[in-house]
Amino acid sequence: MNINFTYLPGDGIGPEVGAAALRVLNATASAFGHTLEIEEHLLGGIAIDTVGTPMPAETLASAQKTQAILLGAVGGPKWDHLKGADRPELGGLLPLRKTLQLYANVRPAKPQSALLDASPIKAEYLEGVDFVIMRELTGGIYFGDKGRDALGAYDECRYSEAEIERIAIRAFEMAKTRRHKVTSVDKSNVLETSRLWREVVIRVAKDYPEVELEHTLVDAMAMHMLSRGKDFDVILTENMFGDILTDEAAMLCGSMGVIPSASLGEGKLGLYEPIHGSAPDIAGQGKANPIAMILSAAWMLRTSFDLVAEAEAIEAAVTLALDERQCTGDIGGTLSTLEVGEWIADHAGR
């Protein structure tokens, strides 16, 4: 099989963790008799520095014609002085998601047994935790009208019923394949968009009588996620709330460096990336944890290419690496970024 995808190394540690993931993908593809066809392009700060725009036309064109996108990281303090669409995120990553209509961001939280001691949360709160956050990704405050005037600054948060409905359906469909529970997170005691959110989710829930629905305010959820995370299955929420809660959920897993994510639309197209940022303070030092990027690559194989056995081979190699502490220093290992990639590639390709 020819595995054709767009690869965007991005900024900071992106190229390093990306290189490790490509080692694993190449080894896995070779072991299973596949061929990789990688279209590498610029996105974010590196694109600004190289060609003067955060999302070059050829990058978007590649993403629109391949079956998947594998992304390292975007942004960094170097470009913080830029404004609006000139910034790496606002002019690169967000428009990419919006243009491709990748409206569903999925992030798992299932602590690995080998990393229970790496989390700042007591192990007794981590055992049994296995939930997925379904974050709406192309609406809300990040995409609303924004600007400054004589009185200050403003950011509009707007949601349509259609935007809420499609992400809610996605959450309920996923819950059907898991433990049949959806927890919808909003701020309906204050925000009108949240009141609409709740109304639409309740309406969608009527088509899924086998799935339990509960509602939780986002501030309460920030507490419950850490104190009783095992009670949740699929957590459904809007863009900004999801952005915050997914980073909090990473603490249950010991490190942001081990959490993959998928941004999905209709059909098989998906954008796969680690949830961590570009971490420019450790870029180029071989300290970055590549596991989240490697697991994102595995997720790409499973979801966009239906290569389940190949994805499972990578995931099993990651679990073994963690069990044997063949990892970077942030989670108790001594290996460099690329050494972790080589170790996992060797075991995934067997």
CATH assignment of the domain containing 233: 3.40.718.10
Q: Which residue range(s) make up the domain with 21?
A: 1-100+269-350
107-144 pLDDT per residue, tens: 999 998 888 888 888 888 998 999 999 999 999 999 99
208-228 pLDDT per residue, tens: 999 999 999 999 999 999 999
Helix (H, G, I), strand (E, B) or coil at 335: coil
Vertex 280: Cα angle to 275 and 286 (nearest 5): 85
Helix (H, G, I), strand (E, B) or coil at 257: helix
Is the same domain home to 201 and 311?
no
Residue where a domain stops, chosen among 255, 290, 315: 255
Catalytic choice (11, 186, 233, 243): 243
Q: Would you say 35 and 2 are in contact if contact means Cβ atoms under 8 Å apart? A: yes
Structure tokens at 217: 């305010």
Active site residue 306: no
Active site residue 142: yes
Residue 312 burial (C-beta neighbours within 10 Å; 0-12, 13-18, 19+) = middle
Residue 262 domain-assigned (yes or no): no
How far apart are the C-alpha atoms of 33 and 12, rounded to whole Å?
33
Residue 264 domain-assigned (yes or no): no
Please report, for residues 21, 104, 116, 257, 300, the alpha-carbon distance to residue 346 in angstroms, rounded to integers and kept in the order given. Answer: 12, 33, 25, 20, 19
Residue where a domain stops, chosen among 255, 288, 317: 255
Is the same domain home to 237 and 287?
no
Active site residue 247: yes
Catalytic choice (7, 103, 142, 272): 142
Active site residue 219: yes
Catalytic choice (49, 80, 155, 219): 219
21-72 pLDDT per residue, tens: 999 999 999 999 999 999 999 999 999 999 999 999 999 999 999 999 999 9
Residue where a domain stops, chosen among 203, 229, 255: 255
Domain count of the fold of the chain: 2
Residue 117 pLDDT: 82
